[in-house]
Amino acid sequence: MMNLGRVFILCFIICLILITSQLSTEPKLCGFIGYKNDDPFSPPTVKKDGLQELQTIKHNDRSCISRYESPMYRKQSIHKPSSYLISRLRQYEALHKRCGPYTESYNRTIKKLESGQSIDDDHEPSDCKYLVRIASDGLGNRILSLASAFLYALITNRVLLVYDNKGDTCDLFCEPFPETTWFLPYDFPIRNRLQRLNTNIPEHYGNMLKNSSSSFVYLHLFHGYQNNGRHFFCDQGQNFLQNVTWVFVRSHFYYIPSLFLIESFDQELANLFPEKDKVFHFISRYLFLPSNPVWDLITRYYQAYLAKSDEKIGVQVRVFDPDIASRYYNAKFTSDQAVPDTVVTCLLDNNLLPKIDTNESLTILKEKGKSIAVLMTSLSPRYFQKIRDMYWEHSSVTRDVIGVFQASFEGNQNFNDKMHDRKAWAEMYLLSLTDKLITSPWSTFGYVAQGLAGLRPYILHMPNNVTMSNPACTRAVSMEPCFHSPPIGGCNKDRSKFPHVSQCDDLKTGLKLVDPNA
Ligand code: GDP
């Protein structure tokens, strides 16, 4: 009887532990030691790609299969990173390893943060400085703002740490830096405050410019840049941050174009990126490697639907709510009725797909053309169905065989759904494996795909009402994402010195990096 009682209590405790661990909102600890370079596992031999140099030399880490398998799925890149960028990435990795979580330097700076010692009273500045990035909004937004935070950390010699309360970074991406981690530790002193940081707190950057009596600085880079937030993009604003050990940043933007307008960063950025229109391409290839579960989705889908085709076309259709389109993107888009025709016209007018043969008395020809796979991504099946039916009901005039595929029809953007985010990341990545790309205006989802691919997409012109726009799409001036909301009246009004920072294709008030000589 006594034994049964004990067994019952033991079972009860185990169940309680299991239930509370399931309910916990904190993600499981993941990837703490980063990846190792000395794993004895022998990877398959793959073609060398110039971009592989972005990663450290050995690519044999089983905790991140995409690190060494990805070159098998991509065509050799024609874009080469500068040797300076590669050497600065190696330096950054060494810095991160020396200063990352639980190192001596980290522990020392944490004590100062815990004690609340003000920046002004800190007479022994640390040799390690940090930038903690707080995640915000959809996955495309999160990827772009993370890339921006990384470049800022790189050029200001800060260590980038990633905070997201959902643990999605850890579920979706491999650790990018060897033998360390980029995740903010769970026992980080002010972790439970991070979601609540805002522009009214004394630590907000704009407020600190007036009175720097806090132990850290919070940057809030969103529309409006309340309370002097836009000074972050000025040289004077950067001087102030130089001696601050802990900087926290929340944004959902790709704010790199405005970093290029800060004169004190000019030379370093020019050395890192002699070709200014490939910044996100190199950063994204270096930083964002799919985790094993996402890599499994990508490779299975690729092998089933894309691998055997001669040519691959990616089509990303993102239809924003007309309210959002008009409020944020100043667009007159009112209805998605004409969107399917817009996509078809864009494909045909730019010879991305052959026209269909409408001749009823068609004779069956023996010879076949090439096989073309069209990979579509969208929350809805509407656009996919139209193109699939077109090439199912008719043959193409060239006798090319067209297969049209879409991996998911999620309906809505979901928050807090692990599989939803995995699919979104897998689809962005699959789009980036295609040869030619059509994307939707204003969509960060599409920006990620084009940047990873290294392709200048055809951007759809969303129809104003029930009739199509003419033309249906135009080719983007560069593969770079658009910074949707640069601060108005920034410090550098003389834009002639920065011909590589230009208006976005899809948003007049936005900024994007271009090659001025192209
Ligand atoms: P944006 O809103 O287009 O700038 O892109 P974001 O990625 O920031 O946010 C949109 C979110 O909606 C994505 O992260 C997905 O969660 C979801 N979503 C939008 N389009 C698609 C799609 O084509 N496929 C999938 N699987 N999810 C999508």
Three-state SS sequence of 155-220: HCCEEEEEECCCCHHHHHECCCCECCCCECCCCCCCHHHHHHCCCCCCCEHHHHCCCCCCCCEEEE
C-beta of 424 in contact with ligand 1 (< 6 A): yes
CA distance 171 to 173: 6
Residue with CA closest to ligand 1 atom 25: 424
CA distance 160 to 286: 14
CB count in 10 Å sphere of residue 105:
17
Residue with CA closest to ligand 1 atom 9: 138
- The pLDDT score that the predictor gives to residue 420 is 96
Gap from CA of 254 to ligand 1 centroid (Å): 16
For residue 471, say if its preceding peptide bond is cis, omega within 30 degrees of 0.
Answer: yes
Residue with the two structure tokens 């400085």: 129
C-beta of 350 in contact with ligand 1 (< 6 A): no
Atom of ligand 1 nearest to the CA of 408: 26
CB burial of residue 191 (10 Å; 0-12, 13-18, 19+): middle
Q: Residue 224: left (phi > 0), alpha (psi -120 to 50), or beta? A: left
Atom of ligand 1 nearest to the CA of 444: 4
- The pLDDT score that the predictor gives to residue 493 is 67
C-beta of 138 in contact with ligand 1 (< 6 A): yes
C-beta of 444 in contact with ligand 1 (< 6 A): yes
Gap from CA of 148 to ligand 1 centroid (Å): 19
C-beta of 445 in contact with ligand 1 (< 6 A): yes
Q: List residues bridging with 249 in a β-sheet.
A: 133, 219
CA distance 237 to 234: 5
Atom of ligand 1 nearest to the CA of 442: 4
Residue with CA closest to ligand 1 atom 12: 413
Average pLDDT, the chain: 87
Atom of ligand 1 nearest to the CA of 377: 23
- The pLDDT score that the predictor gives to residue 364 is 61
- The pLDDT score that the predictor gives to residue 205 is 80
C-beta of 440 in contact with ligand 1 (< 6 A): no
Gap from CA of 430 to ligand 1 centroid (Å): 14
C-beta of 378 in contact with ligand 1 (< 6 A): yes
Gap from CA of 413 to ligand 1 centroid (Å): 6
Atom of ligand 1 nearest to the CA of 426: 26
Domains of the chain are 27-287 (no CATH), 294-476 (3.40.50.11350)
Residue with CA closest to ligand 1 atom 22: 378
Q: Which helix (H) or strand (E) holds 240?
A: helix 235-241
Nearby residues of 305 by Cβ (< 8 Å), 6 or more positions away: 373, 375, 403, 405
Which of helix, strand or coil describes residue 432? coil
| pLDDT tens for each residue of 354-399 | 999 988 665 666 677 999 999 999 999 999 999 999 999 999 999 9
Query: CA nearest 428: which of 413, 450, 410?
Result: 450
CA distance 278 to 500: 11
Gap from CA of 445 to ligand 1 centroid (Å): 6
C-beta of 407 in contact with ligand 1 (< 6 A): no
Return the exposure string of 450-477: e unless at least 16 CB atoms fall within 10 Å of the residue's CB, then b. bbbbbbbbbbbbbbeeeebbeebbbebb
Gap from CA of 142 to ligand 1 centroid (Å): 11
Residue of 413, 419, 423, 430 with the most ligand 1 atoms within 8 Å of its CB, for mutation = 413
Q: What are phi and psi of 249, to 5 degrees?
A: -135, 135
CA distance 223 to 201: 18
CA distance 242 to 156: 8
Gap from CA of 410 to ligand 1 centroid (Å): 9
Residue with CA closest to ligand 1 atom 3: 443
- In a 13 Å sphere around the CA of 212, the CA atoms on its Cβ side amount to 16
C-alpha distances in Å from residue 240, one per residue of 141, 230, 492: 27, 14, 18
| pLDDT tens for each residue of 433-450 | 999 999 999 999 999 999
- Contact in structure between 371 and 309 (CB atoms under 8 Å): yes
C-beta of 379 in contact with ligand 1 (< 6 A): yes
pTM: 0.90
Residue of 445, 482, 506 with the most ligand 1 atoms within 8 Å of its CB, for mutation = 445
- Contact in structure between 471 and 496 (CB atoms under 8 Å): no
pLDDT one digit per residue (tens) for the chain, 518 residues: 446 566 666 656 655 554 444 434 444 445 555 555 544 333 444 445 556 667 654 555 678 999 989 999 998 788 999 999 999 999 999 999 999 999 999 999 999 888 887 777 777 778 899 999 999 899 999 999 999 999 999 999 999 999 988 778 999 999 999 999 999 999 999 999 998 998 888 888 877 777 767 889 999 999 888 777 888 999 888 988 988 999 999 999 999 999 999 999 999 999 999 999 999 999 999 999 999 999 999 999 999 999 999 999 999 999 998 888 888 888 887 778 899 999 999 999 999 999 999 886 656 666 779 999 999 999 999 999 999 999 999 999 999 999 999 999 999 988 889 999 999 999 999 999 999 999 999 999 999 999 999 999 999 999 987 889 899 999 999 999 999 999 886 676 677 889 999 999 999 999 999 999 87
Query: CA nearest 61: which of 304, 303, 297, 295?
Result: 295
